[in-house]
A and B are shown apart, each in its own frame.
Chain A
Amino acid sequence: METCNVMNEKYAIEVDNVVVAFNSLVVLDHVSLKMKKGSFIAILGPNGAGKTTLLKVIMGLLKPVKGTVKIFGLDPLRNGDIVRSLIGYVPQRQRVSLNVPMRVIDIVLMGVLADKKPPRVPKDECYERAFRALKTVGIDDLWDVQFSELSGGQQQRVLIARALSRNPKLLLLDEPMNGVDVASQREIVNAIGKLKREHGVGTLMVTHDVNPIVEHLDKVILLNRRVIAEGKPEEVFNEEVLTIAYGSKIRVITYEGRCYALIGDTHG
């Protein structure tokens, strides 16, 4: 019942005054943000800015010390299962193990089978959903290849396909452009655009490299434990604000009427 009602909500994400601390270290300091349903938002900030922590709070995997979070109007701490069924999460690629012998299709099936009960035996319809997701990111021909044999960009697309296989209403992507080739970046951006246009699926992307997506963004949030700035890319990307967020000088260039920030900060 609740999953039907959530789609009437105006906002996919409402984070209000959230504080997260590990021991005495404050990781998120009174962070507030709102994301409209079906919009595309990027969160930027230096390493240790609390970006991944914010994603975990949004999914209800981490309890804030203070503040509230609502996902399609639901508290993720109280309605964890429903909220997680609405979200497609893509973790940082560097955090997955390459030591498990799994093919591309097996990994995408993880997303489909997560809602079933053990022993989670896949049926034909599960394979159909998995193949559909692989097609969306343009790698359905690689279904039988072992994950560890793929390039970084292809691996990232497999993880996105796993998230898409759940037919999510909201995508949370943690550094999907990190170490990814240009062709894969383009496929990822196309998939996000297609989901938004055809299914109204919104995307919140944590990234260091905002330039490949800048023309598609509805909003940019600059985070460094607190929200430093938020708004359209051209409003946020000025050298003064970026320098405050990153603690060192960041250059901004304008090309064909769009602003691009030259940030060299990456993981892995």
Chain B
Amino acid sequence: MDDMLVIIESPFFIRALIGTLLSALVASSVGPLLVSRGITFLAAEVSHAALGGAALGVLLDSLGLIRNVDPLIFAFTFGLISGLITAYAGEKGVIEKMESAIGVALAMSMSLAVLFLGMIRSEYMPKVWGYLIGDLLLLTNWDLTSLGIATLITVTSYMMFHREFMYIAFDMEGAEALGLRVKIYHYLSIMIASLGVVVATKALGAILVYAFMIAPAAAANEISKTTSQLSMLTLMIVVVSGTVGLFSSFYMDFPPSGIIGLLTTTSYIIALISKRRHS
């Protein structure tokens, strides 16, 4: 019991818990948005672009070309540009066009990341690895501040415009005929999703951001009747998986993101089977 209290009261754990809850809020907006539009791989694309951006930031720092600039700034820039390419390709709402753009932008991001990583001196590498595999337990106060700001922007925008986002996901042509400015909402939705994914990449890593952002929303989408239910269920799955993953990582000495990823992906399989059995 005393051990438990020590763990819970440790600043590492508190920061990890806050990081998990903030990422869960981001996932409850970004996940439904991407799942309903059928472009879930945007999460993988943007997170790898963020990795490439962070690698460039660290490289410039290691070469002494910039000083005291957080690699997160470069991660944001790369992630948003990558999202913009996809949004531009899918301006008319054609999913296949966006899928191709996602694949190309992912390949470009990874190529850049490999190039930059090859040029970074080994002592600087740990700064970049955080973006690849993530570590909730190593989050700093500044990481939480940037995560908090991005969460506020993402969640507020989603709450304000979620109907428009879902309308264009349902029927872009019909929404345009109803007089909605579909192009603005199309770009806005992808920019918001990109922002959320970049900031979650810092906490979770490029590999697990998909498990965190997409798997819970995909699970919720199988059993939700409305878009509000979709967001709420996504939030619940991420919060439960996140906190269970964090606690169990302390007791079993496993990386928390691995456990969280397994729990969220399992939730999808359970939802899939559950829906099939009820229909």
**Pair A95/B170 contact, Cβ less than 8 Å:** no
**Pair B164/A118 contact, Cβ less than 8 Å:** yes
Q: Does B159 touch A at the CB level, under 8 Å? A: yes
**Pair B174/A100 contact, Cβ less than 8 Å:** no
**Pair A118/B163 contact, Cβ less than 8 Å:** yes
- A133 to chain B minimum Cβ distance, whole angstroms, is 14
Prevailing SS type, chain B contact patch: helix
Q: Does B176 touch A at the CB level, under 8 Å? A: yes
Q: Does A87 touch B at the CB level, under 8 Å? A: yes
When chains A and B are docked, how far (Å) is the Cα of A81 from the Cα of B179? Answer: 6
| Among A81, A99, A114, A120, contact of B35 (Cβ-Cβ < 8 Å) | A99
**Pair B177/A89 contact, Cβ less than 8 Å:** yes
- B230 to chain A minimum Cβ distance, whole angstroms, is 5
Q: Does A91 touch B at the CB level, under 8 Å? A: yes
**Pair B230/A101 contact, Cβ less than 8 Å:** yes
A84-B166 contact given A96-B171, A103-B225, CB 8 Å threshold: no
Q: Does A14 touch B at the CB level, under 8 Å? A: no
Residue of A nearest to B229 (CB): A101
**Pair A91/B170 contact, Cβ less than 8 Å:** no
Q: Does A210 touch B at the CB level, under 8 Å? A: no
| Among A89, A107, A113, contact of B170 (Cβ-Cβ < 8 Å) | A107
**Pair A61/B171 contact, Cβ less than 8 Å:** no
Q: Does A5 touch B at the CB level, under 8 Å? A: no
When chains A and B are docked, how far (Å) is the Cα of A106 from the Cα of B229? Answer: 13
**Pair A95/B38 contact, Cβ less than 8 Å:** no
When chains A and B are docked, how far (Å) is the Cα of A103 from the Cα of B159? Answer: 19
| Among B164, B170, B174, B180, contact of A102 (Cβ-Cβ < 8 Å) | B170
| Among B163, B177, B226, contact of A113 (Cβ-Cβ < 8 Å) | B163
A162-B174 contact given A81-B179, A99-B35, CB 8 Å threshold: yes
**Pair B176/A61 contact, Cβ less than 8 Å:** yes
A96-B177 contact given A106-B226, A106-B227, CB 8 Å threshold: no
- CB neighbours (8 Å) of A120 from chain B are 163-164
- B219 to chain A minimum Cβ distance, whole angstroms, is 12
Q: Does B175 touch A at the CB level, under 8 Å? A: yes
**Pair B225/A101 contact, Cβ less than 8 Å:** yes
When chains A and B are docked, how far (Å) is the Cα of A91 from the Cα of B177? Answer: 9
Q: 0/1 per residue, B176-211, Cβ < 8 Å to A?
A: 111110000000000000000000000000000000
Residue of A nearest to B185 (CB): A118
When chains A and B are docked, how far (Å) is the Cα of A258 from the Cα of B100? Answer: 51
- CB neighbours (8 Å) of B175 from chain A are 110, 114
**Pair A111/B35 contact, Cβ less than 8 Å:** no
A89-B160 contact given A97-B169, A99-B221, CB 8 Å threshold: no
When chains A and B are docked, how far (Å) is the Cα of A99 from the Cα of B177? Answer: 21
In order of increasing CB-CB distance, the 4 nearest A-B pairs are A114-B178, A89-B177, A96-B171, A101-B224
Q: Given contacts A89-B174, A90-B174, A119-B162, could you give 7 more A-B pairs where the C-beta distance is less than 8 Å?
A: A61-B176, A91-B173, A96-B170, A101-B36, A118-B164, A119-B161, A166-B178
**Which B residues contact A (CB, under 8 angstroms)?**
35-36, 38, 159-164, 166-167, 169-171, 173-180, 221, 224-227, 229-230
19 examples of A-B residue contacts, CB within 8 angstroms: A80-B179, A81-B179, A91-B174, A95-B173, A95-B174, A96-B174, A97-B36, A99-B169, A100-B170, A101-B36, A101-B224, A103-B225, A110-B167, A110-B175, A118-B161, A119-B159, A119-B162, A146-B225, A162-B174
